[in-house]
Amino acid sequence: MNCRTIARLVVEQCLPANENALPHVVRSIDAYLTPLLCHEIFTAACEGGASRCILDFLLQRTTPVWKEAAHAAVRGGHLDVIRWMTELQDGRGPWRADFDDGLQTAATQGHLAIVKWLYERGIELDTMREMMESISYIERSTLYVLCSWKALESAAEHGHLEVVQWILTTRTCMRTSGAMDRAVANGHLVIAQWLHTVSCQSCSTWAVDTAAKNGHLEMLQWLQSIHLLNCTTAAMDGAAENGHLEILKWLHQTRDEGCSSTALQLAADNGHLEVVKWLDGNINCSSNVQWNCNVVAERGHLDVLQWLHEHFPSTFPDDVMDDAAGSGRLDVIKWLHEYRSERCTIMASLEVARSGDLEAVKWFHEHYSDQFAPQAMNQAARNGHLHIVRWLHENRGEGCTPYAMDDAAINGHLDVVLYLLEHRNEGFSRFAMASARNIEVQCLFATSDTSPRPRRSHVSNDQLIMLQAVYKRRPAFVKGCLRSLANIALREGNIEILDWLNQLGLHVELHTTIPIRQAVGRGDVKLLQWFYWNEFELHDPDLLHLAVQKEQLDAARWLSKHGFKITSLSLIEEAGRKEMVPMLRWLVEHGPPLDFGTAMKLTVEYFHNEIAWWVSESDRVQIVLEALQKEKQDVLGWILTRTRFENVSSQQRIRDAIQRAPESIILRIEEDLSDLEECKWCFLPTNKRRYSEMELAS
């Protein structure tokens, strides 16, 4: 049983059930796994329906990307996880915008309970736009924004009848025609019949054409029976492309649209020989086909090639064997060699070397020995085919170029790099060597590794002996190659190769911080951890700023845990201005306290209302006053309904400001908030009586 399985079983069996069970084991697992935790793990836990205990555990140790996590919970159908998220207080859970498009995701998966839950707490996007200037906008601005017509179409497309029926019963969906198209195109006959029954809906030619392409004969027959079958030549073309012979025959018998000249080519390209024969025998379209056998050969459809050779022998291009080599089908290559006169080019040897087919390489060596080039070994090295590299080296004289070693290293094929280093002289390219000028590798060749952490690779004694022997003959060559290998491993984040270098005593030294900055810029936390474990100095003061600029949340979080501090509010403002919501949340939670100016910009100018949870009550009062002055209804409604003003003087200042606001703003606020218990303090009794009198008068 491997370590991951043991850890999973211990955590599942001990952690959720009893926090006192095997505490030393839980602490050890926690200490080992915590550095590897990231927001993707939290998202996966939400999608998998993890328990609240596990979610609380992960929330304390990761920085979630809440939009991803919320959609993952919706996608997994876990309403209990969604409730857990939305119950988190003071901005720790998902924000309103994190549930955008959530309804469509739930409908796509057929999770009716979640569809209903979102509906109860949401507002239609179209309705929201209409209400921007209405008196009920403030109250509704705190709801999740929904788009029910998209949800309806997704449910119909994926065959979820109950969801389709429920959405239509709400009578809030203004556009319903697309649902019929999606149901027809994807063959959901029961949904299409129900939609037609309740609303007499028809469908577009696109839907019918797509149904034919997808092979839904029963759907086509039903549409024909109720006189709704309208299609184009794309119907037969699509059916031919996907090999639906019965649909082709049925459309040919019942319709007169026919097909285009591409139908025969599409059928041949996809290997549908019976369709090709039927079209050639029943539809007079072969004379207009601009035949191209390359795709047929590339995909290895030998039976179709043989039929074309018999009926259309002049349609084979000169490079057809090159494309056949790309398919890896030696039988196709041999047939073309025997029955056709077209030769191959060097591209054929490159293709078979790339695919790793040694028998095919040997066959071309025997029959087309003049069609090899150094790029063949390059292709084999790039794709990690050591057996091809070895055979070409031992049996051919073209060799390779320096890019063979470059590409093998870039793709992590250490065995190929070592073979080339031992048997070839090309080494790495000039570009790779120049790029590694600020890296030094000390060739001590000592396999002692005192690091307590587990390594991802293992050094064999044969590798050590080989390197020592080659180093003795060509020390500068070996040192340059190992330096380039280390540089590429750092650039690609290949920790396995870096560990291998360390175990050999090939100590990597950096004379530049570029590799560290590149790791931060691409969010490679594992490589940052490798630098830390191997005692590299992370001393650039702007690394955290770089992580924020590149939107690398996990890297920012790692740097914060390893001594880098958020010292400037400008980082927070930049994240808010660029709509980097997950990064903004983390910076606000872990950075210095927000001052009034930054909070004002984030809420009033950049519309991040949830920032109000992180400012003092006095600053929130100022934000409310500013929102009143600038008539920012969304900000005003959100703060008044989602936060609390405990201080009497705060309430008085807001109440006075409301009374001084324009009459239209006062009416909107009173209409929306006067009946809410938490907002009653916003209004004087006289105002409430006045509003009641206005209601009676109207």
Q: Can you tell me the distance from the alpha carbon of 196 to that of 46, in angstroms, rounded to the nearest whole number?
A: 38
Over residues 93-116, the mean pLDDT reads 90
> How much is the pLDDT for 453?
53
pLDDT tens digits along 473-497? 999 999 999 999 999 999 999 999 9
Phi, psi of 369 (to 5 degrees): -65, -25
b/e 355-387 (16+ beta carbons within 10 angstroms → b): bbbbebbebbbeebeebbbbbbbbbbbbbbbbe
> How much is the pLDDT for 133?
42
Instruction: Provide, for the chain, the percentages of residues in helix, strand and coil under a 3-state DSSP scheme, each rounded to the nearest 5.
Output: 65, 0, 30
Task: In the chain, count H helices and then E strands.
Answer: 46, 4
pLDDT tens digits along 45-77? 999 999 999 999 899 888 888 999 999 999 999
Closest CA relative to residue 321, chosen from 354, 348, 292: 348
pLDDT tens digits along 188-247? 999 999 999 988 888 999 999 999 999 999 999 999 999 999 999 999 999 999 999 999
Query: Beta partners for 442?
Result: 507
> How much is the pLDDT for 488?
96
pLDDT at 384 over 90: yes
> How much is the pLDDT for 459?
67
Judged by DSSP in three states, 1 sits in coil
pLDDT tier at 142, thresholds 50, 70, 90? very low
Single-letter amino acid code for the residue at 678: E
Over residues 127-146, the mean pLDDT reads 44
Closest CA relative to residue 245, chosen from 253, 465, 641, 640: 253
What DSSP element (H or E) covers 342?
A: none
Query: What are 662's two structure tokens?
Result: 């324009």
Query: Beta partners for 506?
Result: 443
pLDDT tier at 125, thresholds 50, 70, 90? low
Single-letter amino acid code for the residue at 283: I
Least reliable range by pLDDT among 248-262, 285-299, 338-352: 285-299
Contact 266, 241 (CB under 8 A): yes
Query: Beta partners for 308?
Result: none
Q: DSSP letter string over 73-120?
A: HHHHT-HHHHHHHHH--TT-S--GGGGTTHHHHHHHHT-HHHHHHHHH
Q: Can you tell me the distance from the alpha carbon of 176 to that of 152, in angstroms, rounded to the nearest whole number?
A: 7
> How much is the pLDDT for 339?
95
The one-character DSSP state at 614 is: G
Can you state the angle between helices 112-120 and 102-109, rounded to 10 degrees? 160
Phi, psi of 448 (to 5 degrees): -70, 130
> How much is the pLDDT for 131?
40
Query: What are 446's two structure tokens?
Result: 């000592």
Query: What are 577's two structure tokens?
Result: 């201005």
pLDDT tier at 177, thresholds 50, 70, 90? confident
pLDDT tier at 347, thresholds 50, 70, 90? very high
Phi, psi of 385 (to 5 degrees): -90, 80
As a whole number of Å, the CA-based R_g of the chain is 34
Pairing verdict, β 122-124 and 144-146: parallel
Q: Can you tell me the distance from the alpha carbon of 389 to that of 379, in angstroms, rounded to the nearest whole number?
A: 9
Can you state the angle between helices 581-590 and 569-577, rounded to 10 degrees? 160
pLDDT tier at 286, thresholds 50, 70, 90? low
> How much is the pLDDT for 144?
58
pLDDT tens digits along 507-533? 788 888 999 999 999 999 999 999 999
Query: What are 243's two structure tokens?
Result: 């090999």
Query: What are 249's two structure tokens?
Result: 């025959």
pLDDT at 637 over 50: yes
Q: Can you tell me the distance from the alpha carbon of 582 to that of 554, in angstroms, rounded to the nearest whole number?
A: 10
The whole-chain average pLDDT of the chain stands at: 86
Burial of 554 (0-12, 13-18, 19+ CB in 10 A): buried
